Structures are given as C-alpha cells and as structure tokens.
Structure 1
Amino acid sequence: MYKKLVLFFICITPFLNYSQDFSALWEGHFSYNHIKDFSQGNNKIYAASDNAIFTLDTQTNEIDELTTVHGLSGETISTIYYSEAFQLLVIGYENGLIEIAFDNDENILTIVDIIDKPTIPPTDKRINHFNPYQSVLYISTNFGISVFDLERLEFGDTYFIGNGGSQIPVTQTTIFNDNIYASCMDGNGIRKAQISNPNLIDFQNWTLINSGNWVAIETQIDKLYAINSNRRIYQIINDAFTERFFYSDLPLDLRADNGNLVVTTQNNVFVYDSNFTVVSQVNMDPLYNTKYTSATVDADYIYVGTVDFGILKTPLSNPTVFEEIHPEGPLLNIPFSVEAEPNGIWVTFGEYNFFYNPYPLNNRGFSHLRNDTWINNKYSEVFDAKCLNEIAVNPFKNNQAFISSFFSGLIEVNDDVPTVLYNESNSGLESLILPTDPNYKDLRVGASEFDSNGLLWTVTSRIDNPLKSYNPDTNQWNSFSFTDIIPDGFGGGNLGFADLVIGNDNTKWIASYKFGIIGYNENGGNPLIKAVYREDENMSTELATAVALDNRNQLWIGTFRGLRVLYNTSSFFTDDNITVDEIIIEEDGIAKELLFQQFITDIEVDGSNNKWVATNDSGVFYFSSDGQNTIFHFTKDNSPLPSNTITDVSIDDSNGVVYIATSKGLVSFRSGGSSPFEDLSKAYAYPNPVRPNFNIVDDKVKIKDISENVNIKITDIEGNLVAEAQSRTNQRYRGYNLEIDGGTAYWNGRNLANNVVASGVYLVMLSDLDTFETKVLKLMVVR
C-alpha cells in the first residue's frame, strides 16, 4: 500500500506509533460522497472523505481505498497532503491527530504530539492546512503553526504568532519572496516572517500586514493572493492589497495547481492563469444537486469535490460534462440502524436522541448493499419521510422491506424502490396528539419485526395503542393497547420503544424507556401484557435499550445501566414474582457483574448462541452463549472500529459476517460462523482438496452447513481417529484442533498428537445426535 521511511525513529520518538492492518478479517463500508480535501502526486488524485481516503489513478482510472481497516483512526479528516519526494500521504484531523500513510507499505504512522499537548485547548487543535517547503511541512492549526520534518518524521518548533505570543487560528500558510505568510481568523489578519529567521518561535519576529479575517492565502508562481471573509480575493504586492474579484459565495478553498490558481465556492470553481484571467469556470450542474467543497486541476481535467457525489471530473477546456467518481458505499458515515440479509445489508441514517426526540428532523434516505453493489435512495426518493430508523425485511419476499420513520410513518420498499408511505391517512398507524395542536401530525414509528406467519409488527411512540400488526398480503392492520401498563401513551412518561423481538410462542418482547421490558401476547383474543422494570425485579433501571431471544428461549435485556437475563420466559405471564438476573463472572478471583453499568445499545445472537453486545462508549463485545467468556472485545484501539459508540449490530447468518454500525461509519467482521441447518443433506468441506499452498493450521478447513447438535469424527483412510468434536462441547475459540461454531466446524489439520497430518484421504463422519442422521465426506489433503 504505502512505503515506510526511517524505521528507527519508532524507537527514539515517543509520539510515533504504527497502526495495524486488519484487512484479513474486516471490511470497511464507508461513504465517499463528501469530499473534504484533495492532493496530487505520482499521477494520482488523493481525495479525503469524512474519515477515509481514496485514490484515483489518472492514467488507469483505478480506485483504491484507505480506511480504518488499513489502520486509519476513523477520526474526522480536515486536510491532506501527498509528498512525491518522500512518497507519503499526510492526513490531518479535526482533533489534532496526524497520520502518515507510506507508499507500498501496509502500516500507518500515527502522530499524537498535537492531540496530547496539554497547553492547547481541545477545541483549538484542528489541522487546517499543510504547506510543504523543502523537507518540512508547515502545519496551520487553530492555535498557530507547527513545523514537521518529513525526512526525520519528527516535530520541530511551534509558532504562537498572535499578539503577545497568543494562540490564534491560522487557516493557511504560503512561502513568497523568502517570507512565510499566514492567513488568520478571529480578526488576527495576515502575518508574515522571514523564512530564514532561525527564531520564528518568537512572536516578535512576525509582522501584522493586514487586519481582519482571512480564510486562505496562496502563492501562484510569482504572485501572492489572499481571500478575506468578505468574499473578496486580493493580490498582495509589497504588502499592499488590491482587490481582484468579489464572489457571490464565500470561497472555501484556494490552491495553486500546475501553474493555475483554483478558487472553490459552494456553487462554482474558478481556474485562473498567471494573469488572473479565468481559463475555466465550473458552474453547478442541475443533474448534481450538491455543494462544492474543493477542487484540483491537472493538465486536462478539473476534479471537483462535492458534498453528495464524491468527485465530479470535468474537462478543463469545456466544464459542462461531468463524470461521478468515488468508491461504492452507503450514503453517509452515520449509520443509525442496520439489518443484514444473505450477502447484504440495509442501512438507515435517521436518528432520535436519548429521550426519543427526533428534532431537529433529518432528511437522509437509506442504503442497501446487495451482492457487493450499493443501492442508495436519497431523501428525495422516500416521499420526504424523515428520521428513517428500523428496517424489517420480509422473510417470505426477500425483495420487500419496510423502513420505519420516526416522524412520517412507514415506507414499503419493493425491489429497492420506495413504493408506499403508510401514515395516518392510509393505514392503521396513528399520530401522537399534541394537547395544544390536535391537528399536528407526528408518527413516531420505530422498532419492527416480522413473525413466522409473515405479519409485520411495529411499535409507535407516544400513543395509547403503540403495537401494530400489518399483513402485506391482505393490507390488513390491527392495533393493540398498552394502557394496562402505560395509562397515558402521550404524557405517561414512556417516551419511546427501543427494540422488538418475537418469540416462538408469538410473545412480543419490547424494550421501553419507562417500563423496562414489556411482554405482549394476543392469547387468542384475551391479551396478556406485563412489564418488568422495578428494582425489586432486579432491573438495574427502568430504561431498557435492547432485547434478544437466544436459541434456548432465554431473553437477554440491554439497559441504560447494564445487562440482565430472563432465563424462564415460559412462565413470564403466570409467575407473580418474576425476576431477571445479572450475569456474574469471575475476574482476577473476584466476582463481578458482567457489563456493570454499561449503556447497551444492541444485543444479537449468532448461530452458535453466542452474544454480540454493543455499547454506547465501549465498543462491541462477543460473549460465549452463557456470557461467562469474552471471546472478543473490539474497540477503536484494537480493531477497525472508527468509533466506540456502537449504534447497531446485525449478523448475516448465511456466512457469519457481523455488520457493526458506529457513530462514524459501518464496518463488518468475518466471524466465520453461520447458523446450523435442520439436517446434514447440504454439508460439505472446503477447500477440498487442501493444496500445499493453503495454510491449513491458520486458515483451517471448514465443514459447512452442519446441523445444530452434531458429532464430527475425522479419521484417516484406515479408520484411525484424527480429530473429534461435538456441538456444545468443542465450541470455537476454545483452542481445540476441531471446533464447532453454529453451522460451521473448523479443523486446523492437526491430529490427536497435535501434529499436522500427512498427505492423504481423510473421512469426515457427521452424526446428528437428535435425528441420528449420518453423512460421510471425503477430504483430500496434499502436503
């Protein structure tokens, strides 16, 4: 990927750290629609999106991605710079972090000098601009200017150039006539100093040449230009300012490319020659309703960064035809809810806050990854439905999905096309009723789930009959009251419902804001309803945030303050003294509550009955079926998670891919597990044959599509036992040579003596312990 320089500095510079490449098991699903900055070099265009980079080879048109999966931090990018001389890309972030990606190397260098500086307020550490000069970078920040040596990979001096040596926001620097110029905001004007002065750390060596607010300054060959916040560009001659042009919108970006001066506003790009003559002007194309952010120019084309369409490439000589360029990805990097399906994932970006308040309302559309292709429906295509959240895919019509809107109702989607918006006028859905304005419409539809009969169940907040069922085949709606638990749906204090899961007995389990977990069963027309939320029921809080039923019909409950389990769900409505339990684990010889006081955002159960538990600020956990063993704990420090705030998790049971939605983007982890099958008819082993170039010990042979309760024996052709495993005994992650994870078993090629087996034919004998069905697979190993 990128080339690494001067390795020995990792030992002598304490602020340097190399990040790990996670691409073997992880995949990033980032949006590249919003371009923050550009850089050029070695026939490539480098484009920065919110928290990821992509490169465009201008000769081959190949696109490569650089994300958290390759070692980036996932923080919000503010500016980038590529150095041809040192063959590296420097990435600056809004929080002051700097990362360096080297050509032809998989490591990312992380530099935390600025972010760890205690004398600089966190709000002032933003990296605004990189200006290369000889072998150093002048880094413009919201506190001043820092100098970074690209050859030695270390920081030099920091210049606080405000009056009295104060910290002031510097937007950009440039070198002109042996002087360094700095454009500054907050009324700090433009300041300059002699570049050869060895004592630029002394603020008295900097001269104020003009007051006011300056957004950018740049050198174009032998001329110097600066842009003021008054939307005017000035040429500076002998420190005198001459106005050259007044823009209708505030310029956002000023740079010099290939002898041209490029000015970008939200609606236009202006390219000037050395005489300040416009040689090309890009206007807004009606086919691309967006805003421009920045632009760069090569010999023949202008590359325009946009908010919504990545790069728009257009000819320099006739900028009227546009080519949209960016890697495939979802609409945005703020996934709120995800729903996996075989070989795909649905994503929404709407949101409501901790108190189930959707305001200010957002207009964001949804995305669908299907067979490695992203299909994006923008807000204009979803009937103006706002705050889209939960997704339910029809298990009987896999081309149909329903998406909840926490303001507008429910959208039906067929073949990736929104077809109907259900609201109070055409369905059984209801708006909340404001006492002060009974005509106000606000349908807060949230959690949704299909049952085994093909009925869609949803919950709507702030009404008396929040539970709704809908039959897509008959268009029939039914409503169910919660007034036995919540007497006043609007004013009773229950602000919303977080989650919904349906049991085999058709009990609906619902996580609520005020009444913990609510269980509801129609019971043949004599409905049963009950809630668990009180302290004497061992609930840590009344605020439930997640709910999941595992393969043993045990109810796992996530709350604002920890985890609870209802082990006996069958007696929920009949037991007058129902209680839930915390999970007690032993840690360093001390008994502790699992996830004590953690804010849990989601719980998912995989094919092995293991639990994925998402948290609001501690990443995501993967626990054994009983919660006693932590198999994985992923955070942004040890994985490609771009944030420790996990908004949702969903599992593709067909292949074991776990999709993890965070506050800063979507990633997926190939756990390898899958759901078990009802029988052994489709069981197979791969790779088969196992060839010499296959790393059998680490990559392992997979025995796929096995049943839930199975015994597996591997023997050589003479019948000698090589390995054996049994469901619920030799489970994965416990270090056995043959391990079972749901519908998949893994063999590392070792025998009972822990030696890698020799070449030969091996028999994989499968026995279902419940049905007594058997199957024998032949596996060829070539060493």
Structure 2
Amino acid sequence: MNGALQIGDVFNFQNKSEYLVNVETSSYEKDKSIWALGEQGLCHFKMENNQVVMLKEPFLANTLNVSDPWNLVIHDNKLYVSNSGPRIGTENQYVRTHISVLDQGDWSVLDVGETPLVNNKHGKYLCSSYNLAFDPDDPNTFYVGTWFEGMYKIKGNECVGHYTHLNSPFQLNWALNVPYVAFDEYKNLWVSSAPYLYMLPREKQSVSTDELTVNDWYQFDYPEIANNKYAKLLIPKHSTAKWVVKGYWGGLIFAFDDKGTYNTTADDKTKSFTSFIDQDNKTFDPSYYTCIAEDNNGQIWIGTSSGPIVITNPNNVFNDNFRCTRIKIARNDGTDNADYLLQNIEITDIFVDGANRKWIGTTESGLYVVSSDGSEILEHFTTENSQLPSNRVTEVVVDPVTGVAYVGTTNGLAAYRSDAVQASEDYSSVYAFPNPVRPDYEGWISVTGLMDNSLVKITDVAGNLFFEGYSNGGQISWDGRDRKGNRVKTGVYLVFASSTTTGKQSGVVTKILVVN
C-alpha cells in the first residue's frame, strides 16, 4: 500500500507500517482516518506528518480465508478447506492456494510459505492445487497435487518434498499437472497425472525427493485414461477394482484390477465405459462423468451430467452381463409411474454419511440428501429455502463424529448439523449433548456414539417412557418433550439402547439431566 487517496488528497507513506501488508481494500472516512483490510486483518489508522498512527490494530475474524472452497476433507477431527486449480468451467491456471483449518470451532490459516519451483510458471507460493491426501500414519503430513508443479509433500506448514518430472514419471508439457492423489489400504500413494496413473509404494515415501528416482515408482499405462488432466480416483474398501473418473467432455469411467502385481499390467483386468446399460437394458449415455463415491455397503455411486447411477455389485464390473442401476422414485399419484433420481441434473459431488445417506451436490439445483437406497429425497437445500450461499455446490463432507455437514459452494462455505454420525462398534462411548439441558435451551438433544440403527428408549428413573426411535448411523436426536409434546420436567432421564443388527442389549448407555 503506497497511500490512501481521496480527490484532492495525496498521502505518501515514508515509513510503512508492518500492519499494512498486501492491503486488498480500504475506506477513507470524513475525519481523514482510514480503514484497511490486508494480510494482517482489518485495521484503523490515520496519517500524521506522513507517519502511520494506528487507531485500532489489525484483528482477524474467526473464519476461513478461502472464498471459493472446492476441496474439503476431515482428518484427525479437523476440517481442511482449500480452493482449486484449473477444473471444469475454468482454466484459470494462476490461482494461489489458500488452506484453512477448522479445529474445535477455531479457524486457522495453513500457510506453507515458499515452495520450490521447477516449471516457473507462477510465483514462489503454492498455486493451482487440488485435493489433500493425508499420510495414514502421520496426521500432520499430507500430499497435494498441482497444475504446474507436480506434487508437494507438506509436513505441518513446511514443504518437505517436491515430486516432479526430475524424480517421478510425471511429464512436463507446459503444465506438470497432478489432479488427484489417494492412499490405498496398504498405504501406497496413487497419483493421477497426464498421461497415466502412477503409484509410489509405502517404503519409497520416506525417501528424500533429492534421492528419489523415476524407477522408484510403478506406472500403469492404460491407454483408456491417457491425458487424464481432470481424473479422479476411487480406491474402494469393499471390492477389488479401482475406479477412475476421466472427465469431463469426452470422458469415461474406467475400472481396473491390478491383482497386486504392480510391476506389470499384463494380468490386469480392465473395462471402460463411455455409456452404461441399466437394469432395464436401456442405454444411459450422459455428456460426461463428474464424481464417484463408495457407500457403506460397498455400492459405487457415480455422478454424471444427467443424474447419478449406482453400481450395486462392483465385483461384477468385468462380466459381460454387467449392468448399472438407475434409481427410480415413485410418483405416488395412484399410478405405477416413477422418475429417475435427479434426472437431467448435473451432479458435482456425492458424499456418504454415517447413516449411508447420500449428500448430492449439483451445479444449479443446490444440495440434495437422499435415503440410503436413493428411493427417497429427504432434504433439498437451495438459496431460496436455506442459508446455502450458492446453488452451485462444489463439495460436501459430513463430520463422522458431530454429524455436521460442510458444504462448499462458489460463494463460500455453509454448515448444517445433521442427525447422522458414523456408527460405533459397541456402546462404550455413548454420550449426550448438551448435557445438562438448561432452562433456556430449546433445541435438539443428541445422543451419539451408538451402534448402527440402534433402538433407543428414553425414560425417567421410574421407568416411564418418553421417547423411542432408531438411530441414524450412530446418533439420534430427542426434542426433550414427552409424547404429548410437553417439555419434560426437571430430572434425570435414562437412555437405553439395543442393536437391531446384532441383537446386543446394553441397558442404560448414558443419562441426561434436564433443568427447568
């Protein structure tokens, strides 16, 4: 910042303040004081004899610094939010990366500082990056691909590794792009990069990038996914085939089983789909494919330009009679007619929560929440009926512990507390919140840490039943009222739970104190 101007006034800062760094905007007041918003936050100052006199030192709001949240990931009970490099709808190749971290209600900025460059297409800072893949054994280390500079390894807020065409099989052709990175169950690191797919085995990830060579990598030369600059990779937990979404225009879905023989593709099974045959033997041929997710039952959900499809048995993908499923929703108009789920709606992201419900983002229609099997639309959030900042949803994640859904949009981030969290294996960690329930509290009381689809009963100490229901995943909510809709009296209420899946009875799993 060189000064603040009003018509007829000129300021020349002889001694710049340390607070006035990378000022984005400023406002000139009638008393000739100035409000300025910069890297250090919002501050208020005036000029005396060409010197900066601070009236209010900079402060930063407790919020994220990412205006266009595109990549969201929850890791180690923290939410990481970052923007994106070139993608469908934009080829802006010079976007500086911003990463914000939400930890127990407090936002912080993860600034990795200067990063090494080999391509030199942009400045010295992390730029035009993609999703974050966290090291399975180190919650403070992640890998991130970029458009121009290959892939970086970040530990804390320091770059500790740079993977480029000099030490990796990536190809430098104006760009040096790595649009997707992911770990498999054996902690191998899989990397999507034009023109092919690559894997860095676990034992080579600790090798310094100064000593790493191209020969330390495995390369998968599948011609179907060559030049995959927008590719996404899914490594399922319940089936053997890995899936690649090669998007967007002219894209396809590619499935492959490497058989664990990484040094050769000769024994691999592969199959590619530019279109699918559905359960009614009809051809489904969308313009492009956008995203992919595995649900809690091992089914594969694929987002397209014309709604979602489901792979109900992924292990059959290589069979000649393989079919996808297009989910139908009954019209309930007295006929047997039904409509395809979100037919002709472009899907941007699919996330599966602890109750196996699907959160489906779209380009123009906001956010949908559908039942486990997709046969029922449970919620539909738009800018008109909610605080969703934009109807163009970029990505969704649901915190498995709190049930809070974080929704990235082109106009910012939104949060919504849902009633589904990841189920527990037993009842050893059940708790209720808020607890105690104070007189001024009017919201829901949540019981979390339950086994999947638990039957929950809430009684007073005399055994009178006030509530009964089934958990969504590992959580259930109670409004604190009896069966007639009246707020319950002051007292201790007992929560009983039993598993409908295993038949396990647990008795009292927690207690709730209500104070009126």
Length-normalised TM-score, structure 1: 0.56
- Is 1:532 aligned to residue 273 of structure 2? yes
Residues 743 and 410 (structure 1 numbering): CA distance in 2 closer, same or farther, change over 3 Å?
same
Residues 293 and 754 (structure 1 numbering): CA distance in 2 closer, same or farther, change over 3 Å?
closer
Of 157, 171, 175, which residue of structure 2 is paired with 1:431? 171
Per-residue deviation at 1:655? 1.1
| Matched position secondary structure for 1:346 | strand
Aligned runs of 1:25-424 on 2, under 5 Å? 267-270=2-5, 280-282=11-13, 285=16, 290=22, 293-297=25-29, 301-306=33-38, 310-317=41-48, 319-320=51-52, 323-354=57-88, 358-371=91-104, 372-377=106-111, 380=114, 384=124, 385-424=126-165
Partner residue, 2:455: 711
Partner residue, 2:259: 523
Amino acid at match of 1:763: L
Aligned runs of 1:680-759 on 2, under 5 Å? 680-695=427-442, 699-726=443-470, 740-752=471-483, 756-759=487-490
Per-residue deviation at 1:380? 4.4
Distance 2:331 2:297 in 1: 26
Distance 1:676 1:508 in 2: 26
Bigger CA radius of gyration: 1
Task: Give the gaps of 5 or more residues in structure 2.
Answer: 118-123, 262-266
Per-residue deviation at 1:754? 5.4
Amino acid at match of 2:411: K
Distance 1:277 1:717 in 2: 75
Residues 544 and 533 (structure 1 numbering): CA distance in 2 closer, same or farther, change over 3 Å?
same
- Contact kept, 8 Å, 1:455 with 1:470, in 2: the verdict is yes
User: Could you report, residue by residue, the CA deviation over 1:122-164 in whole angstroms, capped at 9, with x for unpaired residues?
Assistant: xxxxxxxxxxxxxxxxxxxxxxxxxxxxxxxxxxxxxxxxxxx
Partner residue, 2:311: 566
User: Could you report, residue by residue, the CA deviation over 1:71-102 in whole angstroms, capped at 9, with x for unpaired residues?
Assistant: xxxxxxxxxxxxxxxxxxxxxxxxxxxxxxxx
Of 372, 393, 402, which residue of structure 2 is paired with 1:625? 372
User: Could you report, residue by residue, the CA deviation over 1:173-201 in whole angstroms, capped at 9, with x for unpaired residues?
Assistant: xxxxxxxxxxxxxxxxxxxxxxxxxxxxx
Of 193, 197, 206, which residue of structure 2 is paired with 1:466? 197
Distance 1:690 1:277 in 2: 59
- Contact kept, 8 Å, 1:613 with 1:620, in 2: the verdict is yes
| Matched position secondary structure for 1:570 | helix
| Matched position secondary structure for 2:51 | coil
Of 659, 667, 673, which residue of structure 1 is paired with 2:414? 667
Distance 1:417 1:555 in 2: 36
- Contact kept, 8 Å, 2:233 with 2:245, in 1: the verdict is yes
Of 235, 238, 241, which residue of structure 2 is paired with 1:507? 241
Length-normalised TM-score, structure 2: 0.83
Of 217, 230, 244, which residue of structure 2 is paired with 1:478? 217
Per-residue deviation at 1:382? 7.2
Distance 2:110 2:14 in 1: 25
Q: Which has the higher strand share?
A: 1
Per-residue deviation at 1:392? 1.7
- Contact kept, 8 Å, 1:584 with 1:594, in 2: the verdict is yes
Between 1:750-759 and 1:445-454, the stretch displaced more is 750-759
User: Could you report, residue by residue, the CA deviation over 1:691-724 in whole angstroms, capped at 9, with x for unpaired residues?
Assistant: 43333xxx23221111124222223333344333
Per-residue deviation at 1:551? 0.7
| Matched position secondary structure for 2:138 | coil
Of 592, 604, 624, which residue of structure 1 is paired with 2:339? 592
- Contact kept, 8 Å, 1:330 with 1:376, in 2: the verdict is no
| Matched position secondary structure for 1:631 | strand
Partner residue, 2:120: none
Distance 1:348 1:778 in 2: 40
- Is 1:763 aligned to residue 497 of structure 2? no
Amino acid at match of 1:478: W
Task: Give the aligned length.
Answer: 480
Partner residue, 2:387: 640
Residues 753 and 271 (structure 1 numbering): CA distance in 2 closer, same or farther, change over 3 Å?
closer
Distance 2:134 2:507 in 1: 34
Distance 2:340 2:9 in 1: 70
Amino acid at match of 1:678: E
| Matched position secondary structure for 1:485 | helix
Per-residue deviation at 1:752? 4.8
User: Could you report, residue by residue, the CA deviation over 1:656-710 in whole angstroms, capped at 9, with x for unpaired residues?
Assistant: 1222111122222222432111211111223344343333xxx232211111242
Distance 1:292 1:751 in 2: 54
Residues 411 and 676 (structure 1 numbering): CA distance in 2 closer, same or farther, change over 3 Å?
same
User: Could you report, residue by residue, the CA deviation over 1:362-391 in whole angstroms, capped at 9, with x for unpaired residues?
Assistant: 333433333413214277457544311111
**Percent of residue pairs bearing the same amino acid type:** 27
Distance 2:21 2:487 in 1: 60
Of 428, 443, 446, which residue of structure 1 is paired with 2:179? 446
Per-residue deviation at 1:334? 1.8
Partner residue, 2:362: 615
Amino acid at match of 1:517: I
| Matched position secondary structure for 1:457 | strand
Per-residue deviation at 1:342? 4.8
Distance 1:711 1:328 in 2: 39
Distance 2:395 2:116 in 1: 22
